[in-house]
Structure 1
Amino acid sequence: MQVGIFAKTFPGTDALSVLSAVRDSGYATTQFNLACCGLPSMPDTVPEPVVATIRVASETAGVSLAALSGTYNMAHPDISIRQKGLSQLAVIIKTAAALSIPLVTLCTGTRHPSDQWAHHPENRDPTAWADMAAEMSKALALAEDHGVDLGIEPEQANIVTSAADAKRLIAEMGSERLRIVLDPANLFESAAPSEARAIVERAVETAAGHIAMAHAKDRYADGRFATAGQGIVDFPDFIARLKAVGFHGPLVTHGLSAAEAPHVAAFLKELV
């Protein structure tokens, strides 16, 4: 397993300075975001000089690009907003292919009209799943054309809330390009440590064979997010279970400050 971090953890809009900070904090790989080179996270276009700059920055810093963020609300109630997001995702996928980034990370969305990470009571309506699945099918066609995988992350506020939901969607789509990003802290809200461990254990077993990336974020027992190693997620158990099911991909932390990054790198490296 390679230990990585969200590039957006570090301030700046110069790719080399951001990726150098990633390296200097103890990480070998990163989940990149185009905001780290001065563009919107979901741009309408990425000029070729920007692609070249990112490529050179990665090589110079010695930090590999494990994934590129491509999140938009795939279940937004306004179809025109979904269409705009898909158009921007096409740009992200093309950019990932140009940079040989193997994975583009997605958001399966919510019926919430203004926050793609916020729960909405209509998320469980079958039409929400249907709209998201239709969007995913179009996204997968783009991914197939460019040889890039797409990663869906179970999130309590989104349409896909569990590893079981993710496997259902993979089966419906029938594409090996659709993969799972597994973040233990997004599999539950408030829980006792033993409950959290059991939930994460079941998720790893369910997602086995489909995991492209693991995330390392934590939660306190009351539901607040925490820096990895500070909450109730049993990271030694989580990582051991990932290894047991044959996962050897990137383990990418986020939800921490730049100042905390070196300590978390050391914590995770000791476990992997």
Structure 2
Amino acid sequence: MNIGVVTRSFPELTNEEAAELIASEGFQSIELCLSQKDSNYWVYNGRSDLSTFTDEQSKRIVDLYRARGLEVPALGVFTNLLELDDDGWQANLDYFERMMQIAAVNEIPFVSTECGFIPGQRGIHVDAYESRFDRLKQALIWLTERAEKYDVTVALESCVLDVVPSAKRTVDLIAQVGSNRLRVLLDPANLIANNTEEEMFHHLSAHVAYFHGKDRHVNDTMGSAVGDGDIDWVKFLQLYQENTPDVPFILEYVTKANFCEIRDRVLAALAGNGRKSPVGDIS
């Protein structure tokens, strides 16, 4: 199983230090975010100024990880594709395109994002749902057209808290965008309140770019580390083996202190020994 970790779990480290640590513990891959001490550009649900960040700098960073045997399947962007201000929305898209350029020059296949949200208005609002869904769709059409140019693919992470809150709505959005340059960053913690483990794979297994490995209680807003929520990991990883073997499974919501422990929980569940959901099947 290709188990990795997001680099933003180690903001206190440089890229060289993070690469050395992750590789030394036997991990296979990373989701690269420009979040380290020597590349602090990552902004959640927004954008940063990349005007001074060169392709050569990005290559040096990526090479630090690859030189230690780590795969780099994804570059994390996670900007706001729902920004209501037109100029701000376009600036977010332009920022995303620059990230595509960085991915392309480094042969990173996936560039990742959530739907985005309006601060203070996260979730589904009946009076705005259709217009915001359409704004997201138009953003993804714009991005996938450019992804074709750069030979990269957008990986979208949907979530119960956002405008695309279920596996079924995610696959419907993919169909409406109509581009093979759009795939899914499947985070089971983001969908467990609306979908069973089986439903996630039923709708999305053909579209998965890679996975985020984290957990969540059904009625919580905050996520947690694998094994600390309501996902049945034995079941989920059995479905993973049956449907998406070897697709990168990249840990999130971990720290330098516990990322190996959480990896070991995943391996135990993969072997059929993990703790099952305390609430049983969710249907």
TM-score, normalised by the number of residues in structure 2: 0.85
Pairing 1:73–2:73 present: no
Q: Which of 186, 198, 201 is matched with 1:201 structurally? A: 198
Matches within 5 A, 1:172-187: 172-187=176-191
**Alignment length (residue pairs):** 262
Opposite residue 23 of structure 2, the aligned amino acid is R
Q: Distance in 2 between matches of 1:248 and 1:123?
A: 42
How far does residue 230 in structure 1 lie from its aligned partner after superposition? 2.3
Distance 2:98 2:192 in 1: 32
SS in structure 1 opposite 2:180? Answer: coil
- Structure 1 runs (4+) deviating above 4 angstroms are none
**TM-fit CA distance, 1:241:** 0.8
1:213 corresponds in structure 2 to 210
Counterpart of 1:150? 154
Paired residue type of 1:81:
G
CA distance in 2: counterparts of 1:142 and 1:136, whole angstroms: 10
State whether residues 123 and 158 of structure 1, in contact with CA within 8 Å, keep that contact through their aligned partners in structure 2. no
Q: Is the 8 A contact 1:10 1:258 kept in 2?
A: yes
Instruction: Give the secondary-structure state (helix, strand or coil) at the position aligned to 2:114.
Output: coil
Measured in 1, the distance between the counterparts of 2:13 and 2:63 equals: 15
Equivalent residues in 2 for 1:117-136, closer than 5 Å: 118-119=122-123, 121=125, 125-136=129-140
- The answer for the alignment partner of 2:267 in structure 1 is 269
> Which structure 2 residue ranges, 5 or more long, are not aligned?
272-283
* Cα pair 2:55 2:105 within 8 Å, conserved: no
Is 1:8–1:35's contact at 8 Å kept on the other side of the alignment? yes
Change (3 A) 1:77 1:57: same
The offset of 1:221, in angstroms, is 5.2
Paired position in structure 2 for 1:256: 254
Q: How does 1:56-67 map to 2 (within 5 A)?
A: 56-67=63-74
Amino acid in structure 2 at the alignment position of 1:266: D
Give runs of aligned pairs for residues 22-101 of structure 1, distance below 5 A: 22-36=22-36, 37-41=38-42, 42=47, 43-45=49-51, 46-101=53-108
Task: Give ranges in structure 1 of 5+ residues lacking alignment.
Answer: 190-195
Q: Per-residue deviation at 1:222?
A: 4.7
Residue in 2 aligned with 1:137? 141
Correspondence for 1:192? none
Higher helix share: 1
Q: 1:13 to 1:248 in 2, by over 3 A?
A: same
Q: Which residue matches 1:193?
A: none
Provide Cα deviations, 1:70-102, integer angstroms capped at 9, x if missing partner.
Answer: 111111221221111111101100101111111
Shift of 1:220: 3.2
Picking from 216, 228, 231, the partner of 1:230 is 228
Q: Which one of the candidate residues 87, 92, 108 is aligned to 2:115?
A: 108
Identity %: 21
State the alpha-carbon separation in 2 of the partners of residues 44 and 146 from structure 1. Answer: 18
Contact 1:26 1:262 survives alignment (8 Å): no
